[in-house]
Amino acid sequence: MLRGNLRGQSSIEFLIVISCLLMVLGSVSIPLYNRSRDDAQRLVDTSDAREAATTLANALNTIYADGIGSRQTVEYWLPRGVVAFRACGYENVDVDGVDTNDTDVPVNGRADVQVLFDFDGNGVWDNKRESVVIVDTILPSRWDENGNLRGIGWVRENCVHVEDINLEFNPNSRTRHRVTLEYKNIGGAYPRCITVSDVVVESV
């Protein structure tokens, strides 16, 4: 009878130990799994964003090289979490380089296409190097390769302004865009301009 009680007690103790081990393993492995899943999704999103930025940069390069009167339409997908999409435009003073809290991407004399992410979910750009995708174009920027601001006369003569205020993005959805770019001479102080027309054709 005593032997039977000892066996029963040993079984209960064994179950308790196993349960404790499973709880410890769960408390360690579940956060690791969640973090790995989030990191993998972040890589997929930044890869999609780089593809979109490269598509737009290539289109800008092509119509800039073809000259005034050229026009091109491209399509790309933007992932969730994008809170800004910049294409060397008026609103961003010919985007070139970016300053972040953790490191900087210096200017290099060429205008950029930039995709900015909100990975932490607070609704604004995370202001970290890992949360921005940058693709250079061949268009000259307002700054030279040493980071010096060029003179206004040089900018008027050599810079092509990109009217990127129509670029769409939706932080809550993955969206497919059809974008038409047109190189125009609009006269005025900054006569050469690439206009951008963005239409969201699908959202998931």
Which pLDDT tens digit goes with each residue over 161-172?
888 878 888 999
Residue 2 has pLDDT above 50, yes or no: no
State pTM to two decimals: 0.80
pLDDT at 91: 52
Number of H helices, E strands in the chain: 2, 9
- 22-52 pLDDT, tens digit per residue, is 777 667 666 665 666 676 778 899 999 999 9
Q: Which domain holds residue 98?
A: 2-203
Domain count, the chain: 1
Mean pLDDT of 74-78: 96
pLDDT at 166: 81
* 109: nearest Cα among 82, 137, 71, 143: 143
CA distances from 173 to 79, 111, 170, 203 (A): 7, 27, 6, 6
Mean pLDDT of 126-153: 90
Say if CB 179 and CB 56 are below 8 A apart. yes
- 91-135 pLDDT, tens digit per residue, is 555 678 888 888 888 888 899 999 999 998 898 999 998 899 999
